[in-house]
Amino acid sequence: MRSLFIKIVLLILFCLITIAESYSQKKKSINFIGLNPSVTVEPFYEKGEFDINVFPIVYQKTISQRVDIRIISIVNYGIRKSTSSFSHIGFQTAFPHFIIKKTDKLIPSKGFFVAPGFGITRNLMEKHTNFGLWIEPGYNLLFDDKYSLSFSIQFGATHFWYDSGTTKWGNHFGIKIIFGKWF
What is the per-residue pLDDT for 42?
83
Q: 50-68: per-residue pLDDT in tens? A: 999 999 999 999 999 999 9
Confidence tier at 12 by pLDDT (50, 70, 90): low
Task: Compute the mean pLDDT over every residue in the chain, rounded to the nearest whole number.
Answer: 89
Domains and CATH numbers, the chain: 2-182 (2.40.160)
What is the per-residue pLDDT for 116?
96
Q: 13-54: per-residue pLDDT in tens? A: 665 665 555 555 555 779 999 999 999 988 888 999 999 999
Tell me the whole-structure pTM to 2 decimals.
0.84
User: For the residues of 10-22, what is the DSSP string, one character each?
Assistant: HHHHHHHHHHHHH
Q: 76-101: per-residue pLDDT in tens? A: 999 999 999 999 999 999 999 999 99
Q: Which residues contact 165 (CB under 8 A, 6 or more apart)?
A: none
Residue 49 contacts residue 78 (beta carbons within 8 Å): yes
In a 3-state reduction of DSSP, which class is residue 6?
Answer: helix
